[in-house]
Amino acid sequence: MSGKRGLVMGVANNRSIAWGIAKATAAQGAKLAFTYQGEPLRKRVEPLAAELDAAIVGHCDVTDPATIDAVFAETERQLGGLDFLVHAIAFSDKNELDGRYVDTTAENFSKTMLISCYSFTAVAQRAEKLMADGGSMLTLTYYGAEKWMPHYNVMGVAKAALEASVRYLAADLGPKNIRVNAISAGPIKTLAASGIGDFRYILKWNELNAPLRRTVTIDEVGDTGMYLLSHLGRGVTGEVHHCDAGYHVVGMKNPEAPDL
């Protein structure tokens, strides 16, 4: 990744999946720039950026297009262009990540779709202009897009739309040699995940039933990201790649697992 420039959006702290991807790409020589969402997170992101000798390109709240424009202008100023983009952003009202999907409000449906799905397209529009020599874009999704998961609710619907947008963006941007992929990560204890009802149960269930009999780490997702963002993934686009200890192939509870 030496000589490659990447914008990483979605680091909140050192447990963030975006941080795992940042570490993996920086370890291979990439030059990174980080955004942060609001002042409280700036204080957490600055020391992490310093650890990787990464630039900070400012506050970005994807519900405010002016802040998206500003961080891309600053990225161009500081890095001169882009070779890859990491989008690791999602949000939904915690009250609706519990109970039944059928009770979702129109307001939270729209907000979840805007932040967790449309924002990838919004940043892809800006990133395309900075990827003069082609590039690679990556977002994060979850198996709840494909199958019902307890409490995942409207986020599952947003992730399904996000996965569809990966395919449409890949088709649109492929002629410019820009690849677009998603990693479908297994459950990991992060700030965003703590908003999901009964998340400890989901973690334990995966640990007992995934083929590898464990969950994945941000470093494992980071290495998968490294492959998709680098020359190693040059033939891959429009893909939703699972990094979940194999959980997505399981159709039934492991008969040897204890009851939860």
Question: Residues in the site for ligand NAD, rule: CB under 6 A?
Answer: 10-12, 16-18, 37, 41, 60-63, 88-91, 115, 140-142, 185, 187-188, 190-193
Whichever of 113 and 115 has its CB closer to ligand NAD, that residue is: 115
State the minimum distance, in angstroms, from the CB of residue 131 to ligand NAD: 21
Min dist. Cβ of residue 2 to ligand NAD (A): 26
| Beta carbon nearer to ligand NAD, 93 or 174 | 93
Instruction: Tell me which H or E stretch contains 156.
Output: helix 153-173
Q: In this complex, which beta carbon is closest to ligand NAD, that of residue 89 or of residue 173? A: 89
From the candidates 36, 142, 143, 247, which is the catalytic residue? 142
- Residue 176 CB, shortest distance to ligand NAD, in Å, is 25
- Candidates 152, 168, 201, 227; catalytic one: 152
Contact 228, 126 (CB under 8 A): no
**DSSP code per residue over 13-45:** STT-HHHHHHHHHHHTT-EEEEEESSHHHHHHH
Distance CA 53, CA 31 (A): 8
Q: Which two three-digit tokens encode residue 60?
A: 């970005």
Pick 136 or 224: Cβ nearer ligand NAD: 224
The CA distances from residue 170 to 82, 225, 240, in Å, are 17, 16, 11
Q: Is 143 a catalytic residue?
A: no
Taking the complex as a whole, the smallest distance from the CB of residue 99 to ligand NAD amounts, in Å, to 19
Distances (CA, A) of 181 to 31, 188, 205, 225: 20, 20, 27, 9
Q: At what angle do helices 119-130 and 153-173 cross, to 10 degrees?
A: 30
As beta bridge partners, residue 253 has: none
Closest CA to 19 of 4, 28, 1, 32: 32
Q: How far is the CB of 132 from ligand NAD (least distance, A)?
A: 26
Note if 152 is an active site residue.
yes
Q: Which two tokens stand for residue 92?
A: 């939904």
Q: Which residues pair with 85 in a beta bridge?
A: 7, 137
| Closer CB to ligand NAD, 91 or 205, in the complex | 91
Catalytic machinery residues: 142, 152
